[in-house]
Amino acid sequence: MVETLLDATARVLTREGYDRASTNRIAAVAGVSVGSLYQYFPNKEALVAALVARHNREMLALIRAALEEAGTRDLDAVMRELVKATVDAHLVDSALHRIFAEQVPRMGQLAKIEALQRETFLLMRGYLEKRRSEISVRDLDAATSICVTTVEALTHEFVINEPDTLAGDRDRFIDEVTRLLMGYLVPAGAKGVAPPRRSLKG
């Protein structure tokens, strides 16, 4: 029942927007009475909060799986997998992701986003520790934070504000952001650093 209600909430949000969504409308789409809905969620805000939490879990699962699979590969490969997984995670129901970003009041969502970033930070920090000798940045906490935040911010920007650009050249976006990360982590001219490429919008 909970999953049915969350699926209905997602459909109503993407079709009608946050402000027009209501518990009555969500219950109707779910095919249950509003009284049944209230047995699980006290209001619309609680439904949306649970939906955000589920969305974040799905995103984290993709990132975790990608990093675990690439964990024994070289630094460039892992950075590429981090970028690719973050892009894929943001594209999980991108219309819903856009609603969360543009319409849903904060309602404590910042804490949920920060929790997702902390989990990603811990995964990446563990990997960078194993590759410490290959990385020029001595402060691995700072390096991890910069990498995770940069990938998240750039991916979010393209998914939310420039989806056509990302859809049209997803692989080049991944290449460019990977090159950015490697240029930061590895000394200039180090073996394995990709040569400059033209701008994503060039």
| Residue 15 belongs to domain with CATH number | 1.10.10.60
Task: Please tell me whether residues 85 and 128 are part of one structural domain.
Answer: yes
What residues make up the domain containing 35?
1-42
Phi-psi domain of 196 (left: phi exceeds 0; alpha: psi -120 through 50; beta: other): beta
Q: pLDDT digits over 36-57, tens only?
A: 999 999 999 899 888 888 888 8
Task: Please tell me whether residues 8 and 87 are part of one structural domain.
Answer: no
Q: pLDDT digits over 97-154, tens only?
A: 778 777 776 555 555 566 677 888 888 888 888 888 889 988 999 999 999 889 988 8
2, part of any domain: yes
Amino acid at 175: D
151, part of any domain: yes
Task: Please tell me whether residues 85 and 33 are part of one structural domain.
Answer: no
Task: Please tell me whether residues 28 and 108 are part of one structural domain.
Answer: no
* The residue count for the chain: 202
The CATH number for 178's domain is 1.10.357
Total domains, the chain? 2
Cα 59 to Cα 22, 74, 131, 138: the distances in Å are 26, 23, 25, 29
Task: Please tell me whether residues 166 and 72 are part of one structural domain.
Answer: yes
pTM: predicted TM-score of the whole model, two decimal places: 0.72
Task: Please tell me whether residues 180 and 83 are part of one structural domain.
Answer: yes
Task: Please tell me whether residues 168 and 114 are part of one structural domain.
Answer: yes
For residue 196, the 8-state DSSP code is: P
Measure the CA–CA gap between 51 and 60, rounded to whole angstroms: 14
Measure the CA–CA gap between 172 and 144, rounded to whole angstroms: 23
Residue 90 burial (C-beta neighbours within 10 Å; 0-12, 13-18, 19+): buried
Place of tokens 């975790």: 64
